[in-house]
Amino acid sequence: MKDNTLAVNGGQPVIASSYKHPQWPVIDNEYEQVVVAQLYNSVSIYNRSGIIEEFEDKFAKLHDKKYALLCNSGTNALWTMYVSAGLMPGDEVICPTYTFFATNTPLLSCGVKPVFCDANESGNISASEIEKKITKKTKAIVVTHMWGYVCDMDAIKSVADEHGLLLFEDCSHAHFAKWNGQYVGSFGDAAVWSLQGQKNITGGEGGIYLTNNEDMYVRANLHGHYNKRCKDEIPENHELREFAVTGMGLKMRSHPLAVSIANKMLEKHPEYQEMRNYCAEKYEELLSSYDFIEMQNTENMQPSWYAYIFKLRPEYITKREEIVGMLHSEGLIEVDIPGSTGPNHQLPLFKKPWVLFPQFYTEDEPFNVNDDYPGAQQFYESIIKLPTWTRAEHKEILGKYLEGLKKVLDYVKS
């Protein structure tokens, strides 16, 4: 009979410490070839041509958007998005408190006031919570599809339309996730995807911005793509055309080698996604049999499975560290309790914005950091994150993770 002694109690770990976990992104000869080809072709592209144009065209077309702008990071693409909408000091933007902070931090460089909004049981902001935060100063809503689980875009879009607010999406966890069959990033006025090393489509570093609005696109271009690209693309008769040479004075061009990697990954993505879906299916099958686990609601959506998230029921939250510790001892080293992605209203930058941005903020008018955010807090304290993989050969490690999870969770149950 198999010995079920936990590794923490001296048993045999499911995965030996010598076992090599797959790295993300998985680099192989196909990627090497496109990078080398790009290296000999061009390592700096001034306008919308070559690999930049190729990737932007494909990405925009897939999302049925007119304009795409690659950037050197997702964070800068988010900053560009806020600048492109002409947001002003004093304007309010309703944003999730539960998100990676880079969704919200660029608002501060615009002098805009982030108005934090609580999370629902899936970790996402919801139409009902958004409505509570709308004031006369509200100009926009930004949503993040957390961990690749999609926000209720029908309800959120109706709130935005009803109140005449701009709608932005941070899709950095959710490349090609769908809400009712429609890709995220195509619901609002503009959207951004990070292409950073961990993300489902990556070039190592990078970001991309999409919009249908010509005026927003012109401003986005001026924000970080001055001279050639602006001269090529801003119409002669546009009122901002005269600024084409300098733009706004910042430079955020993406690196062609990074884009060549992301471009290959975009091509391979459907195949990778199939394997991520398979991982999620297997996790679901196993985890749904434990009473102390609460499954994420995936109604109406196709998640990206950037990660697979499950929650411990309230009585088990105090055991979370111990459970994850036991899984780590079994060699499941990529099981994680997300730390830096958490409630933003607790961060010093948002509690005391006047220290680093004295030009915009004062102590007399703090952000809404003292409101209650029970949903975000609860979600943050109860989730465990599992990795998903992308290639057929990764079925081996998936099998080991399923075995390790079963071993530890059966013990917790008993």
Ligand X SMILES: *Cc1c(COP(=O)(O)O)cnc(C)c1O
List the one residue from 48, 173, 223, 400 that touches ligand X (CB under 6 A): 173
Q: How far is the CB of 236 from ligand X (least distance, A)?
A: 34
Q: Which amino acid is at 90?
A: G
Tell me the sheet residues that pair with 293.
Answer: 312
Judged by CB, which is closer to ligand X: 237, or 340? 340
Judged by CB, which is closer to ligand X: 124, or 329? 124
Work out whether 259 is an interface residue with ligand X (CB under 6 A). Answer: no
- How many residues belong to the site for ligand X (CB under 6 A)? 14
Q: How far is the CB of 54 from ligand X (least distance, A)?
A: 20
Work out whether 379 is an interface residue with ligand X (CB under 6 A). Answer: no
For residue 211, the surrounding DSSP H or E stretch is strand 207-211
Residue 191 in 3-state DSSP? strand
Residue 357 in 3-state DSSP? coil
Q: Which residue has the tokens 């102390």?
A: 292
- The verdict on whether omega for the bond into residue 343 sits within 30 degrees of 0, i.e. cis, is no
Span of 6-14, 67-75, 208-216, 370-378 interacting with ligand X by CB under 6 A: 67-75
Work out whether 73 is an interface residue with ligand X (CB under 6 A). Answer: yes
Phi/psi at 336 (5° precision): -140, 145
Judged by CB, which is closer to ligand X: 304, or 329? 304
Span of 47-55, 70-78, 128-136, 152-160 interacting with ligand X by CB under 6 A: 70-78
Q: How far is the CB of 285 from ligand X (least distance, A)?
A: 27
Print burial letters for 182-208: b (CB count within 10 Å at least 16), e (below 16).
Answer: ebbbbbbbbbbbbbbeebbbbbebbbb
Work out whether 169 is an interface residue with ligand X (CB under 6 A). Answer: no
Work out whether 144 is an interface residue with ligand X (CB under 6 A). Answer: yes
Q: How far is the CB of 64 from ligand X (least distance, A)?
A: 22
Work out whether 74 is an interface residue with ligand X (CB under 6 A). Answer: yes
Judged by CB, which is closer to ligand X: 197, or 366? 197
The CA–CA distances, whole Å, from 325 to 45, 287, 300, 333, 341 equal: 47, 18, 34, 9, 20
Structure tokens at 379: 């979600």
Contacts of 236 (CB under 8 A, 6+ apart): none
Q: What distance in Å separates the CA atoms of residue 342 and residue 146, rounded to the nearest whole number? A: 11
Phi/psi at 169 (5° precision): -125, 130
Residue 201 per-residue DSSP state:
S
Q: How far is the CB of 105 from ligand X (least distance, A)?
A: 9
Judged by CB, which is closer to ligand X: 18, or 340? 340
Work out whether 185 is an interface residue with ligand X (CB under 6 A). Answer: no
Work out whether 196 is an interface residue with ligand X (CB under 6 A). Answer: yes
Q: How far is the CB of 145 from ligand X (least distance, A)?
A: 8
List the one residue from 56, 91, 129, 170 that touches ligand X (CB under 6 A): 170
Q: What distance in Å separates the CA atoms of residue 216 and residue 163, rounded to the nearest whole number? A: 20
Tell me the CB-side half-sphere exposure of residue 133, using CA atoms within 13 A.
Answer: 32
Judged by CB, which is closer to ligand X: 345, or 400? 345
Of 180, 189, 183, 155, the closest CA to residue 171 belongs to: 183
For residue 353, the surrounding DSSP H or E stretch is helix 353-356
Work out whether 250 is an interface residue with ligand X (CB under 6 A). Answer: no
List the one residue from 172, 263, 329, 390 that touches ligand X (CB under 6 A): 172
Work out whether 346 is an interface residue with ligand X (CB under 6 A). Answer: no
> Looking only at residues 40 through 59 of this chain, which bind ligand X when binding is defined by CB under 6 A?
none
Judged by CB, which is closer to ligand X: 225, or 328? 225
Of 220, 184, 183, the closest CA to residue 68 belongs to: 220
Span of 2-10, 151-159, 165-173, 381-389 interacting with ligand X by CB under 6 A: 165-173
Contacts of 66 (CB under 8 A, 6+ apart): 60, 211, 212, 214, 217
Judged by CB, which is closer to ligand X: 94, or 326? 94
> Looking only at residues 83 through 142 of this chain, which bind ligand X when binding is defined by CB under 6 A?
99-100, 102-103
Residue nearest to ligand X (CB): 74
Work out whether 227 is an interface residue with ligand X (CB under 6 A). Answer: no
Residues that bind ligand X (CB under 6 A): 73-75, 99-100, 102-103, 144, 170, 172-173, 194, 196, 207
